[in-house]
Structure 1
Amino acid sequence: MGISIRAYGRQRGVSDAAVRKAIKAGRITPAPDGTIDPAKADAQWAANTDTSQQRKAQAQRAVPVEAVNTVREATGEAALPSGGTTLLQARTANEVLKAQTAKVRLARLKGELVDRAKALAHVFKLARAERDAWLNWPARVSSQMAAELGVDAHALHVLLEREVRRHLDELGDVAPRVD
């Protein structure tokens, strides 16, 4: 069992009309019997009230993170980090995140960023073309080299092809790191 709307308003430092308005707007929820659980209501008030919409500047009250997280989990929102985070700190973190997101969008629009999937596909295509060029190299040069050295062309072709494949296998063991 909680306290009355008027008692909660006095405890919160607002009028009972402000509490009724918060209930009507859905920012806080009363118990089924119409009373208010102060801890739950404080957490809901902090999580669901935009301080920029307040008529007079009020000092930021620190709300226990656990109380805010209980409300956020009930509404499906991500929990705030623990460690005494105030609502002001959480909103500041949110604004910083919005600014970083806007910065990334702007960089993408300016063409300063590339799509990771496209870049990986392009590098893969270049590496495959390089590998194919090396695999075709012994067939192109083995007969010319055999004539200059005076050796069997087929034997030289087989030797070059084997060594090129061994070298490519060694290069293929390197795992690319894309961070």
Structure 2
Amino acid sequence: MGLSRRAYARHRGVSDMAVRKAIASGRIAVEDDGTIDPEKADRAWGSSSDPAQVRPVAKSPPPPRGTPRPVPIAAVEAVRETLRESGEPAPAAGNMTFVQARTANEVIKAQERRIRLGKLKGDLVDRSRAVSTVFALARRERDAWVQWPARAAALIAAELQIDPHRCEQVLEAHVRRHLEELSQIGIELR
């Protein structure tokens, strides 16, 4: 007595439908009692199957239900860091419990919600947008100062009764030196 279609499908590592198709196409034979002889069927399956169409069989069966799967080290470290930030005691690397991981997940969700709410209220702004706005403002300010000596030199020269060209050169040198000093100031947006 052989195996049923479903039992042979489990034995072979394929679906029940694949076994039905193999029987219907004549690639494997069914015994007189309606069962499948696994040795005969395996030989027939291997010799009549197109290797390009065959999916690789899993090397090892999946772990039984309830078996803990390994957790990536990066995930464990992220949980430990989150717990430390929230004031919870961070466990050693191998002593992580589900409750601690769940607590870290809830802390992260709360932090995300607080940030999202701050953005909605207008208390927080997008960092890249703030940086680009500050950069654009500083560039406009610099351009205005670079153009100022040319506009103001003639008026100052007329008031002081000096050469307008020389006045513009002196003003431009002082403005450029001042702008150079201002460029050394670093701003930090955190």
Alpha-carbon offset, residue 172 of structure 1: 0.7
Identity %: 46
1:77/1:146 CA distance change after superposition, 3 Å: closer
Matched, 1:72 2:71: yes
CA distance in 1, matches of 2:130, 2:123: 13
| 1:87 equivalent in structure 2 | 98
1:77/1:121 CA distance change after superposition, 3 Å: closer
Unaligned runs of 5+ in 1: 1-27, 31-35, 45-69
Unaligned runs of 5+ in 2: 1-61, 81-90
Q: RMSD over aligned Cα, in angstroms?
A: 2.5
Q: How many residues align?
A: 115
CA distance in 1, matches of 2:74, 2:145: 55
Query: Is the contact between residue 127 and residue 189 of structure 2 (CA under 8 Å) also seen in structure 1?
Result: no
User: Letter of the aligned partner of 1:171 in structure 2?
Assistant: L
- CA offsets 1:62-107 (integer angstroms, 9 cap, x no match): xxxxxxxx7113xx97225451332212211111111111221222
| 1:136 equivalent in structure 2 | 147
CA distance in 2, matches of 1:142, 1:178: 37
CA distance in 1, matches of 2:105, 2:167: 67
User: Letter of the aligned partner of 2:141 in structure 1?
Assistant: E
CA distance in 2, matches of 1:150, 1:128: 33
- CA offsets 1:48-72 (integer angstroms, 9 cap, x no match): xxxxxxxxxxxxxxxxxxxxxx711
| 1:29 equivalent in structure 2 | 63
Give the match's secondary structure for 1:143.
Answer: helix
Greater CA radius of gyration, 1 or 2? 2
Alpha-carbon offset, residue 178 of structure 1: 1.6
Alignment equivalent of 2:156, drawn from 145, 166, 178? 145
